[in-house]
Structures are given as structure tokens and as C-alpha cells.
């Protein structure tokens, strides 16, 4: 089911740089990569990485907001931006980033996973 704010087209306005920086206080796994948010997550096993990918895919489908994902054995890189906002970061991206970080912890069985890339 799509989130109400997304269905109504809300959250599609690019965030000012100051708001993106403020969002990072609650997103310790994430960094700005050009005009997108980016995080790397490392898992103990490839199976845990796949559980994470599956969870991200389901959540992204529900939100109708799909990040770019790169899976390399136990490493998963996630990058999100809002294409219909000119490829800029919006509230949809910061919300998705927070949810992806939660999913990473769940896929790792509650253990800490590798966080942000400098």
C-alpha cells in the first residue's frame, strides 16, 4: 500500500541544503553523494544481504519510491534521490533512508551493520 503523502504527491519538493544536513543527524548511516543520499551496509553473510535487499524492495514498492541498489556478496550500497524532483533529495528520500537503516539492522538479526561511507 502506498503511503498517503506519496499518493498525494507530497514530499516531492527538493530539500534545501540546510534541511538535508539537519536530516543527517537522524541518519548516521547516510552521506550526501552529489544530489543523492548514499549508504553502504555490510552483512555477516550473503544470505543476510539478500534478506535486506528483499525487504528494501518490498518497502520501496509500498512507498512507490525506488532507490538504486548495488549488491556485492555481503555488501549492499543504497543510493536514493527523487527523479521527478530533478534528481534532488526530498523528504521521500530522507524517510526512505531512515527505513532502509531500520531494515538493515533487522536483516542483520539486530546486530550493528556497516554504516556510512566517508
Burial 53-71 (b: 16+ CB within 10 A, else e): bebbeebbeebebebebee
In 3D, which of 95, 24, 40 has the Cα closest to residue 63? 95
pLDDT of amino acid 63:
92
Can you list the domains of the chain with their CATH numbers?
19-107 (3.30.1360.20)
Mean per-residue pLDDT, 100-108 = 92
For the cut 50, the answer to whether the pLDDT of residue 5 exceeds it is no
pLDDT of amino acid 17:
87
If 0-12 CB within 10 Å is exposed, 13-18 middle and 19+ buried, where does residue 5 land?
Answer: middle
**Tens of pLDDT along 7-45?**
445 678 999 988 988 888 889 999 999 999 999 999 999
pLDDT band of residue 113 (cuts 50, 70, 90) is low
For the cut 80, the answer to whether the pLDDT of residue 93 exceeds it is yes
Beta strands in the chain (DSSP E): 31-33, 36-42, 68-72, 75-80
pLDDT band of residue 69 (cuts 50, 70, 90) is very high
What pTM was computed for the model?
A: 0.84
Amino acid at each position: 500500500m502506498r503511503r498517503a503523502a506519496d499518493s498525494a504527491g507530497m514530499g516531492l519538493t527538493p530539500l534545501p541544503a540546510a534541511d538535508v544536513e539537519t536530516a543527517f543527524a537522524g541518519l548516521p548511516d547516510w552521506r550526501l553523494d552529489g544530489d543523492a543520499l548514499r549508504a553502504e551496509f555490510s552483512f555477516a553473510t550473503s544470505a543476510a544481504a539478500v534478506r535486506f535487499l528483499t525487504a528494501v524492495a518490498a518497502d520501496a514498492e509500498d512507498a512507490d519510491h525506488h532507490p538504486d541498489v548495488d549488491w556485492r556478496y555481503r555488501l549492499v550500497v543504497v543510493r536514493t534521490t527523487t527523479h521527478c524532483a530533478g534528481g534532488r533529495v526530498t523528504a521521500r528520500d530522507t524517510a526512505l533512508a531512515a527505513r532502509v537503516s531500520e531494515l538493515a539492522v533487522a536483516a542483520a538479526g539486530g546486530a550493528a551493520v556497516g554504516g556510512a561511507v566517508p
